[in-house]
Each structure stands twice: as structure tokens, then as C-alpha cells.
Amino acid sequence: MFQIPKIYEEVNHYQGVSLILWYIVIVILFVSAMLFLYSAMIAELDTTKLGYFAHGNFCIFYGIARLLWIISVHNPANFLFLVSLGYVFASISIIFWIYSLEKFIVPFTKKIFTAIALILVLVSILSLTMIVDRYIVLLFLNSLTPICVGFILCIYIYIIIKSEGTVRKKSIFLFIGLFLLYLAHFMDTEFFITLFPYIPLEIAPAMMIAGLIIFTYQFYLFPYFYVRSETIGD
């Protein structure tokens, strides 16, 4: 049976206050998903409809992934399967997001990063088969995930540079929220916890809560760069 990483046991991963904070993260993700998907249903423009839909799907699938990762630590017998299944949902969460950005904001990328995101999903699904060693799969995931997330971050930087006024202001906040979200995700990985075991585990979920609140508020009320995507770069 695959063992839970020793470092998780040493630092009491997903225990106490940090566990409560992670549950708050999951609640925020699901509430945000409902807000985004409802907005997608009533949106009139195709750009905002797809934008809200993409972000709603991200919140749903990433929320499920976070829940699975918590359950995995408390269910040693199924740890590997639950962790791998979490990676599948986490990978799926960014597909529509990247697709919406490539379709409306940077069509010149020709959906290259959407294809990379699909490969990420396929690799994560491969981890469920147990045919390939978990660490080989993790190597691919750890290589492709930064590419996909880095692309999203670069798009927001691109929008900040190319836009002005309200679009630039809101895009700066969106970038900050997304950056905090990804940094918190990275801080909760086995790799980071192994390197920095003395950093309080409460920091990552607290940071993600802040990032999600900033991002959800800004995008839900002001999806400007989707509404006015045709003006970006003019």
C-alpha cells in the first residue's frame, strides 16, 4: 500500500486550524462557482458568457480537487488514488479558462496552450491507471502546470500593459488575486512543505482565501476585459 508522505505526518497536514481554513477555501470556491455560472446563464454577450462559464468551472473542479486532497490524507488506504483523482479535477479546472483567454484575448496563440492543458488532463488521468509510476506522472504534471498557470498570469500582464483606465485597474487586482491563489497552491505541495516544514500551514489557505475573494469580487462585478476584449491591444 502506498504510504502517506512522511512529511505530512510530521507537520500534521490538514489538521486543526489549517484544515478549517481549507474548508473555508472550498466553500468560497463553490459559492463563487454558483455566482459565475448564474452570471453565465443571464449574460447577453458571448464573451462574458464564456468568461463566467470558464471561471465557474474552474471553481467547481478545483474545489473538488482540494476536497479530495484533504480526504486523501485522512484515508491512508486510498491515498494514492484520491491524490491522483484530485490532480485530474485540478487539471480539468483550467481548460475552459485557458480556452476563453485564447479565444477572445490572445487568438494569435492558436489554442496552443489549450492543447497543453488537454495534455495535462490526459497525463493526470494516466496517474489513475497505476501503469506509470506516480513520480513520473508528477514530473510531467509539475512541468506542465507552471506552463499553463504561467500563461494565464502572462495574459493578465499583457492586458495590464495593453489596456488603460478601468480595464487596467481591474486587471491588476485580478492578477494579484490569481497570483496569491497559485502561490498558496504551490505552498501546499509536498515539495514546498518538505523544503520549508517550519512555515505555518495556516499561511497557504489564508493566502488562498484572500486571493479568491479578490479575484471573485473583481471578476464577478467587473468582467471588463471580456466585455471589451476587442479594445485590448488597440
Q: Please give the residue that has the higher pLDDT: either 77 or 184.
A: 184
pTM of the shown model: 0.90
Long-range contacts of 195-201 (CB under 8 A, 24+ apart): 197/7, 197/10, 197/11, 200/18, 201/11, 201/12, 201/13, 201/18
With cut-offs at 50, 70 and 90, classify the pLDDT of residue 232. low
Taken as a whole, the chain contains a residue count of 234
Task: Tell me the pLDDT tens digit for each residue of 118-135.
Answer: 988 988 888 787 666 666
Provide the CB-side half-sphere exposure for 79 (13 A, CA).
12
